[in-house]
Amino acid sequence: MAGDSSQRPRTRTIQGGHRLRFARFLAELLDRRFTIPGTSIRFGLDPIIGLIPGIGDVAANLTGSMILIVAAQLGLPKVVLVRMGINIAVNTMIGAIPIFGDIISIWYRSNVRNVTLLQRYLEEEQPRQAVLRDWLFVAALLIGLLALMVGVIVAAIWLFKQIWTLV
C-alpha cells in the first residue's frame, strides 16, 4: 500500500502536466497566437472568431471554457473556479459589443488569465482532488455561463431587429 500512495502524487503530477499543457495551448491559440506586424501586440483566434455575428463569441468562449473544465479535473478550489468563470463571463459580455468588444478582448485575454490561475494553483505543495460537489458546482457554473452567452445572443438579435425596424 505504501507503494500505491507514493505513486499517486507522481501520477497526478504527470496528468496535471498534460492537462496544463493542453490549457496553455488553448490559451495561446485563443489569446496570443499571432502578432500584429511591427508591434508587440499579440492576439489569438478569440477576437477573430468573435467577428462572426451571433455565434463567434459563443464559440470562442465555449472553447475557452475547456480551461475551466481542466481546472475542475485538477481539483481547483471553488473560489478559483468562480474567478475563472467571471473571466469568461467578462470576455463574453465585452465580446458581444461589435468590433470594440473584439479589440478589448485582445487586451483582456481571459484564457491567459485563467491559465495563470491554474498554474498558480498547481504550484502549491498539496493540491486536493476534485469531489462530486466540485463537479456539480462546475456544471452549474458552465450552465450559468451558457445562459449568459445565450442571453447575449438574444439581446444582440433583439437590438438588431430594433435597429432594422428604424431603417
pLDDT tens digits, 128-143: 666 777 778 878 887 8
Buried-state track 92-108, b at ≥16 Cβ within 10 A, e below 16: bbbbbbeeebbeebbeb
* pTM of this structure: 0.68
Please state, in angstroms and as integers, the Cα–Cα distance from residue 78 to each residue in 85, 131, 137, following that order: 10, 11, 8
- From the DSSP assignment, how many helices (H) and strands (E) are in the chain? 7, 2
Amino acid 2: pLDDT: 46
Amino acid 70: pLDDT: 92
| Per-residue pLDDT at 112 exceeds 90 | yes
pLDDT confidence bin for 22, thresholds 50/70/90:
very high
Q: Find the domain containing 10 and state its range.
A: 2-166
Rounded distance between C-alpha atoms, residue 16 and residue 131, angstroms: 16
Cell of 23: 490549457
| Per-residue pLDDT at 17 exceeds 70 | yes
With H, G, I as helix, E, B as strand and everything else as coil, classify residue 73. helix
| Per-residue pLDDT at 4 exceeds 60 | no
| Per-residue pLDDT at 120 exceeds 60 | yes
| Per-residue pLDDT at 109 exceeds 50 | yes
| Per-residue pLDDT at 103 exceeds 90 | no
Greatest alpha-carbon pair distance for the chain in Å reads 74
With the C-alpha atoms ordered 49, 52, 53, 58, is the resulting torsion angle positive or negative?
A: negative
pLDDT confidence bin for 111, thresholds 50/70/90:
very high
pLDDT confidence bin for 69, thresholds 50/70/90:
very high
pLDDT confidence bin for 127, thresholds 50/70/90:
low
Q: How many domains does the chain have?
A: 1
